[in-house]
A and B are shown apart, each in its own frame.
Chain A
Amino acid sequence: MTRRGAGLALLACGIAGLPFLASSAYLLTVFNIIGLSTIVTLGLILLGSSGQVSLGQAAFYGLGAYGSALLSRDLGWSPWATIAIATAATAGVAYLVGVPTLRLAEHFFVLATLGFGIIVNVLMVQLVDVTGGASGLRDIPGLRIAGVSLAADRAFYYLVWGLALAALLLAQNITSHRTGRALRAILGSEVGAAALGVEVSRYKMQVFVASAAYAALAGGLYAHYIRFISPSPFSLYASLFFLIMAVVGGLTNIWGGLFGAALITILDQVIRAQVPRVFPRVGGEYQTAIYGILLVLIMIFFPSGIVRGALDLGRLLRPVGPEPAKGGSA
C-alpha cells in the first residue's frame, strides 16, 4: 500500500512538472484535452472491470457539458456548482438507464448504450430552444476561484489533472476493495458470483453510475474550458474514440486509463505529421482507417483488456506462464 502511495506521489510529481517541459500554450492545451479524455477513459475502464462496455460515454460527457453550460449561462450560477449538479444529474440519468439495461447480457447492454447515445445526440441537435441546436452554445462562463479566472491553460491543467488523479484513486479503491473482488468474481462467472452471495447487479450499477459521473465531470470541465459546445464532439464517433482510448491504454487495468488517452493523442499528432509526407495526395480521412485497423489489431491480439476487464495488476506482472483458464462466458 505504501509502495503504491510512493508510486502515486511520483506520478503526481511527474504530472505536476510536465507543464515546465511544455514549450507552448498549445502543448498545454493538448495536455488539458488529454486530461479530460483520461477522466472519461478511466470511467470506461472502471466499467470494463465489471465486464461491461459502453458506447454511450460521449452522451454522458455531453450531458455534463450541456447541463453545466446551460445552468451557469442562463441561470448565472457558479460553474463550480453547475459542474457538480450536472455530474450528479447525469449520474441519476445513468441510474435510470441502468435499471432496465444492466440486466441485459453484455453485448446487448453495449447496444442499449449505443441507442441511448444516439438518442441524446439527436436531442442535442433538435432541442434548438434549449441547446442552441447544431450551431451550439456560446458565451459559456469560465471557471474562477475567488474572482481569479482559471482560463489560463496552466491553471486549468492543474485542475483537470488533479481531478484525473482523484478519479484514478477512486477507481483504484472501487476495484481493489470488496467491490473489486466481487467484480472479479463476476468476470469469472456471473452466475458463480451470484451463487457466492455477491450482489452482482448492485455492483454493476455502481460502476456504471460512476463511469457516467466521470464522463459528465469531464464534460462540465470541457464546457467551461473551451467555452463553446456543439453536438458534434458528443456523437457516436466520440464514444467510439473513448472506447479506443480505453482499449489501447487500458488493456487490463485502471492505470492503463492514464496512458490510453495520451497514447492516442500522441499517435494522432504523429499520423497527422507523417502521413502527408509519405502520401502527399491523400486528402481523406486516413486517420479513421488507421484507427479502425488499430482497433481490430488490438482486439485480436489483446482482447482480454476489455473482456476480462482485469483489474488484477498482480496477475499481469507474474512471470510469463501458462494463460489462466478462460472464463466460462467465452
Chain B
Amino acid sequence: MLNSLGREIPEYMEGIGKLEPFQGALTKLSKGWMDEPTIPAPNKAYLPHQSKLCKTLEEAIIRSNPHNGMTVSFHHHLRNGDILLVQTLTILHNMGIREITLASSSLNECHDPILPYLVDGTVTRIFSSGIRSQLGRAIALGVLETPVVIHSHGGRVRCIHTGKIQIDLAVIPASAADIEGNATGSHGKSAFGSIGYAVIDARYAKQVIVVTDNLVNYPCIPLSISQNFVDHVVLVDSIGDASKIATGTTRITNSPMDLRIAKLAADVIENSGFFVPGFAFQVGAGGASLAVAKFIREKMKTKGLKGSFMLGGITSYCVDMLNEGLFETIFDVQSFDAVVSNSLLNNRHHIEIPAALYANPFNCGCITNKIDVVVLGALEIDVDFNVNVITGSEGNIRGASGGHSDTASGAKLTVVVCPSFRGRIPIIKKRVHTIVTPGETVHVLVTERGICVNPAFRELEENLRNAGLNIKDIHDLEIEVDKITGIPAPLEYTDKIVGIVEYRDGTIIDVIHQLKEHGA
C-alpha cells in the first residue's frame, strides 16, 4: 500500500506486525486520542532495607531474569563514550542468551563491537532513533532478518507506552547514584547532564539496573531517576570514556561554509515574522545548526529581544544565552558538554525534562508543540521538502531520526540548514532516499547557494522576499547544483526491507531496502 507521500509500505512485516501507512503529519493527532491502548507499567515490591547493590554488572543481569527473546534497553546520553551497552550484550552473549531485541534510544560508533552479535543471532531485532558506522552499514546490507525500526525521540516514548517496545531489562548508566537507585547525570566525574531519554525506560522496564561509577551518600540529588523504579544498583570503575561523553564547551564551527549558511538562516529567522519577544527556539548541537545560535544571539542583543525558552539538545552556547538573559528557561532532554551539566545542576531555570514531555505526541501537550523556531540539519532534502536524516548518499544507515520530525511537526518555523552538495554529491534531490520528516512540516531550506521556501507557505516567502533575501525555487536550485556535481548514478537495492521508519505517531513514513553490496 502507498502512504500519503507515495512510498510503498507493506501491510505486515514478520517480526514487526501490522503496519499503518503515514497519512499526514497531524492526521492521527487531530483525533485527539491514540487508538492503541497504553499498557500498564509493571508492579514491583521490595522489602524494607532490602539491598539493591550488586557487586558486578553480571550479577545484576543474572538477578534480572535474562532469557531468550528478551528486550534490553539503553539510553544514549553517554554518546560516543558509552561502554555499558557493549558490556551488557557481551555478558548476555556469554550467558548464551539469544534473540535479544535491542532498544537503545540511539546507537553510535562506540557500539560497533556488538556487530558479531547481530551476525550470530544474539541480537535479532533493533529499535532505535539512530544507527551509524559499521552497524549502520551492516544493517543496510541485510545482516538482520527482521527490519530495524527507526523511531523519533517522541515516538520511542509512544512505542513504550503502547507496548510496541516491551522492555525486560533497562540498563541505565548514571554519573551519580545512591544505593537505592536514585540517579542523575548532572554531576560526577562522568557527568553527562540530562538523563531525559531513560526516564520512560525506568518507568516501564520489568527490571531496571542503574550503573554508576560514583556511588554517593543517600539520597542522590537530584532524583532524575527515582528509586521506586530501580531494581538493582551496580558500582563500576567506569561507565564510559569521559573524554567522549561531555567535555568543556561546545565551540561554534570555524567553517566559512557553515557560517555562511548559518548567517543566511539567521536572516531568515529574523525576517520570518516569528522573531518576536517571547519566542521559543531550538537548534542542533553542531555545524551550521549551532552556528545559527551565534547569529541569533547577536540579533537578539542588537534588538533587545528576549525569548521564552530553549529546548532540546543543549550546548554551552544555549547556557550562555540563558545566563545573558536572552531566554528565560532551558528545557533540557539531552546535554552536550560539561558546562551544561553544571548549569543543569545549579540553575533552577535550566530544567531537566523526560523524553515524554519533550516530544511524545500522544499526551496533553509535549514541549515541541510550543516551539516557534527550530533549526535542523539534513542528509538529503527533496523538491517536496521531505528530509532524510537516516541514510547517506552511499546507502548506509548513518544518521538519526532523533527529534527531527518531532520538532519540525511542532514548530511554527522549521528551518533546514545544509550545504547544497557534500563532496561531489548533491543534497537536493528529486526524491530523497528515505523520508524521516515530511515536507509539510518543513518551511525553509537554507543552503550556501540560496534560500528555498516551501510553496505551501506563501506569506513566509513574501516576508523573506520583502527583506531582500535571495529566494530561489527549490527546483531551480536542484538544477543549479546538478550542473556543478552532475547527477550521481542511483544506488541499487534488493526487495528486502531492512529498516522501517516510523513517523512520530507510529505510522510508517518510509522503509529502507537492502543495499546491494557492489552499489555501496
Partners in one complex: no
Chain B contacts to A: CB under 8 angstroms: none
Chain A contacts to B: CB under 8 angstroms: none
